[in-house]
Amino acid sequence: MKQDTAYRLQFRGNVQIEERDFCPIVATVEFDRHDPTSLEVQLRLVGTQNENQVASSYLRNFPYDHLSLKNEEDATQSVQVASIRGYEIGD
């Protein structure tokens, strides 16, 4: 990504499922303003061990094509990810 057209947002918040908070996360959203195919969304699960296990299992078998990421500090910076077609699970 070009430095002058790159956009990066990182925040603490929650994955929202059916309008309720599901799991605490740290989300990182990055993309190039001139290349919509460059979108990258990273989620780090930061809940309890049990919350993280449930969330990990749920997200691996995610039944939707959209995801709501609620920013707990600034609701105007929350993110709606639509038309999810593929994902990678990393460390």
Encode pLDDT of 12-67 as tens digits.
999 877 777 778 999 999 999 999 888 898 999 999 999 888 888 888 877 777 88
Taking the C-alpha atoms of residue 51 and residue 13, their distance in angstroms, rounded to an integer, is 14
Q: Is 35 helix (H, G, I), strand (E, B) or coil?
A: strand
Domain spans of the chain? Answer: 6-82
The per-residue pLDDT for range 74-87, each reduced to its tens digit, is 888 888 888 776 66
- The pLDDT value recorded for residue 11 is 95
pLDDT on residue 1: 66
Structure tokens at 16: 């929202």
